[in-house]
Chains A and B, each alone.
Chain A
Amino acid sequence: GQSLEQPSEVTAVEGAIVQINCTYQTSGFYGLSWYQQHDGGAPTFLSYNALDGLEETGRFSSFLSRSDSYGYLLLQELQMKDSASYFCAVGAAGNKLTFGGGTRVLVKP
């Protein structure tokens, strides 16, 4: 089966940088996805890493190290609207995702 570990909560101030780590155990690993979910909303896709390295999309970046079974999501220049839960998810055999428990990010003024 698959299992993922990510911190439950992170607090930071506007303008700061936050890194959300995700470690996973899985068989047949395909890649690591990240999703954002605001309170009361649906998850929305942020990024995907299939290969080692850093993927940058605006203020958000995602990193993967397959050899370490580890990835992270980097949120830069934090804004109040970034207050949300962030989920890592591993893709494996069967073309489906297994989600982590989520990291709640609270951005303070």
Chain B
Amino acid sequence: DADVTQTPRNRITKTGKRIMLECSQTKGHDRMYWYRQDPGLGLRLIYYSFDVKDINKGEISDGYSVSRQAQAKFSLSLESAIPNQTALYFCATSDSPGGETQYFGPGTRLLVL
């Protein structure tokens, strides 16, 4: 079984809809991250969490929110989806002191029409 899982793997939605992307991990790591990747570009950090009570904004948090329901679960929500949020979304976990070694889920491909 995969250590970091994401659901759904693919999602098509319409402008204005609220959607949630989910991430679960069995690695027992405290640190969890949400990234966005646009074609041909690197990963940009949306939100990150060091435990269930510690949520932090990344460089592109506008239009997104997160929930850390448990150590193993970290969800990303788009409150009102817009077309420029079409991207590949990755969840990652880490137990390294500076977050330098991260383990990524398989990604969720999101299309907003």
Q: Which residues of B contact A33 (CB under 8 A)?
A: 100-101
Complex Cα spacing A31 to B96, Å: 12
The answer, among A41, A45, A87, for a CB contact under 8 Å with B42, is A87
Name A88's closest neighbour in chain B (CB-CB).
Answer: B42
Count A interface residues, CB 8 Å. Answer: 23
- Tell me, rounded to whole Å, the shortest Cβ–Cβ distance linking B59 to chain A: 8
Q: Restricting to B62-109, which residues have a CB under 8 Å from any CB of A? A: 90, 92, 96-107
Q: Restricting to B21-74, which residues have a CB under 8 Å from any CB of A? A: 31, 33, 35, 40-45, 48, 50, 56, 58-59
**Chain A contact residues, CB within 8 Å of chain B:** 1, 30-31, 33, 41-45, 48, 50, 87, 89, 91, 94-102
In the assembled complex, 13 residue pairs joining A and B whose CB atoms fall closer than 8 Å, in A order, are A41-B106, A42-B90, A48-B101, A50-B100, A87-B42, A87-B43, A95-B50, A95-B98, A95-B99, A96-B48, A96-B58, A99-B42, A99-B44
